[in-house]
Structure 1
Amino acid sequence: MSTTVLKGGRVVDPVTGTDEQADLVIQNGIVTGLNAPYASDAEVIDCTGNLVLPGMIDTHAHIYRYVTGRFGLDPDMVGVRSGVTTLVDQGGPSCMTLPGFRHFIAEPAKTRVLAFISAYLVGGLEGHYYPQLYQPECLDIDATAKAVDANPDLVKGIKAHAELGGFQRWGMDVIKLAAQIGRQSRMPVYLHFGQLWPSPEDPMDIDPDTIFPSVLELVKPGDVLAHPFTRHPGGFVDKHGKVHELIRDVIEKGVKIDVGHGSHFSFDVARKVLDAGIVPNTLGADMHGYNTRIAPPPGTPDIHSDPEEGDHMFAGAVRFSLTSAMTSMLALGLTLDQVVPMVTSNAAALLGMADEIGHLKPGAVADVSVLNDERGQWTLRDNEGHRVSAERMLTPRFCLRAGERFDADAPTLPQFTPAQASA
């Protein structure tokens, strides 16, 4: 029998209410429990000073490599090699390309890989770079719903875009179709907010502040509103700097919010939303090939270049991760008790997998994330150039995926020492 002991770490598990220094014992890839007896031949890993969490879940990843061009990243690089045990690809595969996603991405990965399937037939080609591929005629309700029904182990929802460029082209048509797919498949719809596509040459006269309330009329309990902290028009905050009041009503009805950090993140907008008392349920990192400066797959043409997409929240950095996004939440004043559920229990519930992942109950699959928890002084920067000071830095040390250890050595992970980024 193979036994691993994560010794002396601060074990934080929102599901069991655990927050204590303890030894987590794992046997044959299954959690035995806290401070359980173990044999002398067990592998003991000193985790003193570390956070020991249920395996972290990134609810917004882009990992359909090659098929989505420069956009898709290697799943294990942003997964287990970044301390993350479960990834949810947001809109990479479609009903047409889902079999390839399963065979070439999900099955070979050491990371658990899931997907919110694209509402669009083409999926996330080049990160939705070509707007003409995402018009109403490029959605097939029945085909997409059938793909969802046929792949319940892999597909956990639908991805669509509620953004200004699309509304200026097609009004509400696409969003109505996406909402119908969600109802027909009985799955949550994950809705991108904040302008994604540039305005067309002859745009429809759309006030960006009307997009959010219009879309809220279509959402159902369990649907997910993404990018609450976006710097782009058409999101949670209107052009007058006020948070849309309707958001409170849909939250009460069971609609969820995912940070979807990525290139949209604004500290200024985040403070307005948080000050309004709106705290996201989950914390997707939204890493992709346009915002990590990782070399693209061989032979991929450089058809997309946007200097803004290369900016990152850490001053002087070109890389980030899910733990980086957690650090930014802490710098904004959220507590560890608020942030940990975003990447564990809340994320598992969003996926309908609360019984399987997101906790460290005895008998659970041993998905565990071990984080360094440092104190110092760092400066964080968003894509608008705004800076905030952070006194706490979380970085991944390693994770266990079904008991197998993976060290956090991804090239996308920031490397900082205290006060290094203060300039």
Structure 2
Amino acid sequence: MQALLLHSGRVIDPANGIDEICDVLVRDGRIAAVGRLEGDDIPGEVERIDCSGRLVLPGLIDTHSHVYQYVTGRFGLNADLCGVHSGVTTLVDQGGASCMTLPGFRKHVIEPSHSRVLSFISAYLVGGLEGHFYPQLYRPDCADIAATVKAAKANADVVKGIKAHAELGGFARWGTEVMQKAAAIGEQTGLPVYIHFGQLWPEPEEGGRDVDPDSIFTQVVDLLKPRDVLAHPFSRHPGGFVELNGEVHPLVRDAIDRGLKVDVGHGSHFSFKMAEKVMSAGIVPHTLGSDMHGYNTSVPAPAGTPDEHEHPDEEHMFKGTSRFSLVSAMTSMIALGLSLEQVIPMVTVNAARMVGMSNEIGSLGVGRVADISVLSDQSGRWLMRDNEGTEVIAERMLQPVFCLREGRRFDATASILPIPEVA
């Protein structure tokens, strides 16, 4: 493998305290040097890539993806579409695989993908099927604590957490019973539990219990441990970080102080209005996931998928745009007022901590596998909108240019990458 020199980019590596214009030398698929390189520092045969005016970052980590393609029907996207061809080197699939379907996920997604793919295994036996249509698949009887613990421990190289739900439809049907099982799996494996907040399924028309959405956060947090992850803090749906009165739930800060983490989980749930409320309360998420899937991204349904029927929660469908990525989610965070220096740790060093892999990914340490993302960084005025139709102006636009995965270059050519709309 030919040596590569990423020359004169703005290298930002929060894990190692680097933020300067310098070079990154890659040799044999690993990072050989970082700094201002010249003369004997550079091997004779090297491919020099001019990164002037670009950001050179540790390989981006998407903490919320859905890439169990084909098995999860319309839901799962192609891993490399969301990964290396979108400038992202590591994907964390949230709940696609279960204790029953994890071997298939390893064989047919993890192994053939150029992107590194990890799993937060589902707490439910069926995994991430199209549960919006078939919520009974996610009842308490469909969670097997012992089997899921066994699968997670036997596949510790790829299973880095547990995915569960704390949505209004589930609470109306079963209360906290499913969440108790998910929390037990997390305790027995020692892995973080990733909790979806907000209305995922519609409430049952008959036979469901009345639920105060503001009580859900309290009940769930009482079950959780440090390092567990609270997702969708900026959800427009009830039952999450923002109460019905428009105020941030009083226990959010307490939960963070207890060591729980917050992941944006952008996707269809994202609301600029809710984000402003939460962030004005001083709450800045630790990590950032894209939450792209087949319901909110314009990709063809897999061949053989049954004819589409009416979605039971049409508001879940994404209307803001049908093209987005982890990098465009980064731009959203900057448009909300966060600095670039605040956002980059969310998709690098903090994300690596979330998956327990700080010693392997999330930094540009010399000797590490050369997972590197290169982004353009432009100033101007661009229009961004969420699923509620709220529009904001972004004065800084990040876009993926290419990434290196184990030293191999992949250009950002994914068909789902958004086309910036000039304001």
Decide: shared fold, TM above 0.5. Answer: yes
Match of 2:346 in 1: 342
SS at match of 1:236: coil
Per-residue CA shift, 1:309-367, capped at 9, x if unaligned?
Answer: 55354xxx420000000000000000111100000000000000001000001111100
Q: Equivalents in 2 of 1:111, 1:304: separation in Å?
A: 32
Q: Residues 239 and 162 of structure 1: is their aligned pair in 2 closer, same or farther, counting only changes over 3 Å?
A: same
Of stretches 114-123 and 303-312 in structure 1, the one that deviates more from structure 2 is 303-312
Aligned-pair CA distance for 1:127 = 5.2
Match of 1:393 in 2: 397
Match of 1:311 in 2: 318
* 1:252 pairs with 2:257: yes
Aligned-pair CA distance for 1:109 = 0.3
SS at match of 2:394: strand
Match of 1:219 in 2: 224
Match runs of 1:318-333 below 5 Å: 318-333=322-337
SS at match of 2:106: helix
TM-score (norm 1): 0.96
Q: Equivalents in 2 of 1:175, 1:304: separation in Å?
A: 29
* 1:271 pairs with 2:276: yes
SS at match of 2:402: strand
Aligned-pair CA distance for 1:129 = 3.3
Instruction: Provide structure 1 residue ranges, at least 5 long, that are not aligned to the other structure.
Output: none
| Cα RMSD for the two superposed structures | 1.2
Per-residue CA shift, 1:56-81, capped at 9, x if unaligned?
Answer: 00000000011000000000000000
Match of 1:114 in 2: 118
SS at match of 1:125: coil
Match runs of 1:44-55 below 5 Å: 44-55=48-59
Q: What amino acid maps onto 1:279 in structure 2?
A: V
Q: Equivalents in 2 of 1:302, 1:329: separation in Å?
A: 37
* 1:237 pairs with 2:242: yes
Match runs of 1:6-405 below 5 Å: 6-34=6-34, 35-36=36-37, 37-126=41-130, 128-202=132-206, 203-306=208-311, 308-311=315-318, 313=320, 317-405=321-409
Q: What amino acid maps onto 1:401 in structure 2?
A: R
Q: Equivalents in 1 of 2:133, 2:55: separation in Å?
A: 39
Aligned-pair CA distance for 1:39 = 2.0
SS at match of 1:100: helix
Q: What amino acid maps onto 2:122 in structure 1?
A: S
Per-residue CA shift, 1:156-181, capped at 9, x if unaligned?
Answer: 00000001100000011110111011
TM-score (norm 2): 0.96
Q: Residues 192 and 397 of structure 1: is their aligned pair in 2 closer, same or farther, counting only changes over 3 Å?
A: same
SS at match of 1:168: helix
Q: What amino acid maps onto 1:219 in structure 2?
A: L
SS at match of 2:16: coil
Per-residue CA shift, 1:254-284, capped at 9, x if unaligned?
Answer: 1001000000000000000000000100000
Mapped contact 2:200–2:316 kept (Cα < 8 A): no
Mapped contact 2:131–2:137 kept (Cα < 8 A): no
Q: Residues 90 and 128 of structure 1: is their aligned pair in 2 closer, same or farther, counting only changes over 3 Å?
A: farther
Instruction: Provide structure 2 residue ranges, at least 5 long, that are not aligned to the other structure.
Output: none
SS at match of 1:9: strand
Percent of residue pairs bearing the same amino acid type: 62
Number of corresponding residues: 416
Q: Equivalents in 2 of 1:85, 1:286: separation in Å?
A: 16
Aligned-pair CA distance for 1:2 = 2.4
Q: Equivalents in 1 of 2:408, 2:399: separation in Å?
A: 19
SS at match of 1:190: strand
SS at match of 2:130: helix
Mapped contact 1:3–1:38 kept (Cα < 8 A): no
Of stretches 387-396 and 241-250 in structure 1, the one that deviates more from structure 2 is 241-250
Q: Equivalents in 2 of 1:400, 1:304: separation in Å?
A: 40
